[in-house]
Structure 1
Amino acid sequence: MRRAIDLAARGLGHTSPNPVVGCVVLDERGEQAGEGWHRRAGGPHAEVEALRQAGDRARGGTAVVTLEPCNHTGRTGPCAQALLDAGIAHVVYAVADPTPTATGGAQTLRRAGVEVAGGVLAAEAAAGNEAWLTAARHRRPFVLWKYAASLDGRVAAADGTSRWITSAAARADVHRLRAQADAVIVGSGTARADDPHLGARVTGLTDTDVTQPLRVVVDSRASAVKPGARVLDGTAATLVAVAEDAEAGHLEGLVPLLRLPRAAHGPGLDITALLTALYARDVRSVLLEGGPTLAGAFLAANSVDKVVGYLAPVLLGAGPAALGGAGITTIDQALRLDVVDTRRLGPDLRVTAVPVRPEEN
């Protein structure tokens, strides 16, 4: 199963709106006969790839797969039926499929006489598929908020300069996160100050090997994105989210617009409406790279699933903080986080944490 989990990770950034899945097929004697992973949406599923490699050795054997085999016909056929046709006798899976259309593969297999066991290394497999599972369960994209700051929590100096607080190693890691996300989101402040490109460049991979994320600028007044902005080049698709009543004639024909209601409280747009609209566009994972104001709006809307902070051994003493306007006014309202990983990247420290939801206290 750990091999299947490792295989599944190879599909990160390429399979959306489908999950990442890995599969290992063992023959009757328990020896590995084939392996595969879901490489790209619309392509063969992991089980089909592994069965093709195993050939006749799959008959009477075992399929070990990270996600319950699907039970429906979409762009490809049902994997449960493919396993039956190959003569698989045992199926071991990690995570049950939560989608109403694809679930039921385990039941179909059992009814046909296949021995099925679920839940093996479920937590590890779920962690590797966290974005897709969150989207499937909540009908909105998984949101990872990334920020880079000095050790005293500043994302820029007092004069607004911010390039570069963190090292090249940390910035390269951010490009890895972009390549794994379906969309990258920034706000109008970041668009004005940095003129960001938001494309993904991964060392060792060519442009054809990297699936570029959708670039989203949240620009409620339609005033930050101008002709010639780097985010408007042809590297990847771009979407500008503006208020329903914003004057955006100067952007018509220049970039697709997403008109959304304004936030009920405070400035900006309705974050829930933004995520709903992105989900309808098959976005299942979001990398939030916006500044303090946009990050605060997402946190206030309870719409951040993971935080990755890159902390540089630098002190600035003044300048904007990493987070602002999250609706927190007293220590009792503080959003508690569970640190799940810490790692050195060059001189910097990367801290990964997840919010502790009320039901987890």
Structure 2
Amino acid sequence: MQQTSTTDARWMARALELAAHGPEAGPNPRVGCVLVGPDGELVAEGWHRGAGTPHAEAAALLAAGAAAAGGTAYVTLEPCHHTGRTGPCSRALAEAGVARVVYAVPDPNASAAGGASWLGEQDVRTHSGVLQPEAEALNRTWLHRARTGLPWVTWKLATTLDGRGAAADGTSRWITGPEARADVHEQRARCGAILIGTGTALTDDPRLTARRPDGTLHERQPLRVVMGQRDLPDDARLFDDAAPTLHLRTRSPREVLTELSAREVHHVWLEGGPTVAAAFMADGLVDEIVAYVAPVLLGRGRPSVSDLGITTIADALRLEPTDISTIGHDIRITATLQENH
């Protein structure tokens, strides 16, 4: 196994910082590239700014010019080896005379992979796996879709301490406080799509937009998706011009995710009611749960999730917390399902 030097780790860490500037919800992965000369000094940097723009390697090579020759390229994802909207980065690196390519994560996309092997055939040395866990975390939803064919699903719920998602009369605004609601909008803005069922759409008439605390819209809006057979009124707020809306007339979670994957969505923010949530959970299609728990007691009312068919504690779905934060007066618990991860 190749050993990672302190120098390689240092430059890859910088490449990851650059990659984080890229659009998180775009169809492409976030990638950063650092070019270092034979003398060990920084030559140029670049990152991918979104679909249709130069890849990170191309951006760095353009800035470097002839100074890239004989140096090392540090890239957070294996250089692509296909021609899409832009040319293959593997070929661009070789033609620039780069002597060594260090990358963090092998490209799982079959149509783009193979760059490292081809570079080796051109006598360009390669080294993989440098800061791979950090690079995997940066692109976890994109990598999930590339590997499974389906988007990563985050189920968001707001619940009382006694597990109620709404009061007995059906009211649910507002279980959580303004700080938690603002946090939800920040999370929405980072996703490719927001998903609800027709029941929630008809009962709440939500806008499903990502808004700032002052009510203005975030620059980028996720796709609004409604699943279910029932018709929606033409004057529903979901059909305003604030963001695109898609009504998928199916009750199958897998059909919904397959359609969204075909549209290059890799992160779905699930805000459906207890029935939709239970359907996704039952099909094993929830990858992460973000629960906003309010210090509120209702005693009775609608549960946060419908029947999952669990009758004994031994069959309970166990979660692995990845973050617990206080948001205003509420607690936000982020967790993954142990059986999925």
Matched ranges for 1:296-315 at <5 A: 296-315=278-297
Q: Who is 1:190 aligned against? A: 200
Distance 1:2 1:317, change over 3 A: farther
Q: Who is 2:223 aligned against? A: 214
Question: Of the candidates 128, 136, 145, which is equivalent to residue 126 of structure 1?
Answer: 136
Q: CA deviation at 1:206?
A: 8.1
Note if contact 1:13-1:179 (Cα within 8 Å) is conserved in structure 2.
Answer: no
Q: CA deviation at 1:11?
A: 2.1
Amino acid in structure 2 at the alignment position of 1:194: D
Distance 1:304 1:290 in 2: 12
Percent pairwise identity: 53
Q: Structure 2: state its 5+ residue gaps.
A: 1-11
> 2:256 aligns to what SS in structure 1?
helix
Question: Of the candidates 124, 130, 154, which is equivalent to residue 144 of structure 1?
Answer: 154
Distance 1:37 1:315 in 2: 48
Q: CA deviation at 1:231?
A: 0.4
Q: Who is 2:233 aligned against? A: 226
Matched ranges for 1:288-303 at <5 A: 288-303=270-285
Amino acid in structure 1 at the alignment position of 2:159: A
Distance 1:163 1:75 in 2: 45
Q: CA deviation at 1:113?
A: 1.5
> 2:333 aligns to what SS in structure 1?
strand
Q: Who is 1:251 aligned against? A: none
Q: Who is 2:58 aligned against? A: 48
Distance 1:150 1:276, change over 3 A: same
How far does the alpha carbon of each residue in 1:209-253 deviate from its partner, in whole angstroms, 9 at most, with x for none? 73221111112233xx212111000111111122xxxxxxxxxxx
Q: CA deviation at 1:299?
A: 0.5
Q: CA deviation at 1:86?
A: 2.1
Amino acid in structure 1 at the alignment position of 2:336: V
Amino acid in structure 2 at the alignment position of 1:314: V
| 52-61 vs 82-91, which moves further | 52-61
Distance 1:6 1:326 in 2: 41
Distance 1:299 1:29, change over 3 A: same
| 97-106 vs 174-183, which moves further | 174-183
How far does the alpha carbon of each residue in 1:34-91 deviate from its partner, in whole angstroms, 9 at most, with x for none? 2222111111111112222333332222211111110000011111111112222221
Q: Who is 1:337 aligned against? A: 319
What is the number of equivalent residue pairs in this alignment?
330
Question: Of the candidates 7, 18, 22, which is equivalent to residue 11 of structure 1?
Answer: 22
Distance 1:168 1:63, change over 3 A: farther
| 3-12 vs 40-49, which moves further | 3-12
Q: Who is 1:265 aligned against? A: none
> 1:228 aligns to what SS in structure 2?
coil
Amino acid in structure 2 at the alignment position of 1:158: A
Note if contact 1:22-1:38 (Cα within 8 Å) is conserved in structure 2.
Answer: yes
Amino acid in structure 1 at the alignment position of 2:237: R
Distance 1:24 1:205, change over 3 A: farther
Runs of 4+ in structure 1 over 4 Å off = 202-207
Distance 1:226 1:21, change over 3 A: same
Q: Who is 2:189 aligned against? A: 179
Matched ranges for 1:27-46 at <5 A: 27-46=37-56
Distance 1:329 1:14 in 2: 38
TM-score by length of 2: 0.90
Distance 2:47 2:70 in 1: 21
CA-atom RMSD in angstroms: 2.1
Q: CA deviation at 1:14?
A: 4.7
> 1:155 aligns to what SS in structure 2?
strand
Distance 2:68 2:328 in 1: 46
Amino acid in structure 2 at the alignment position of 1:189: G
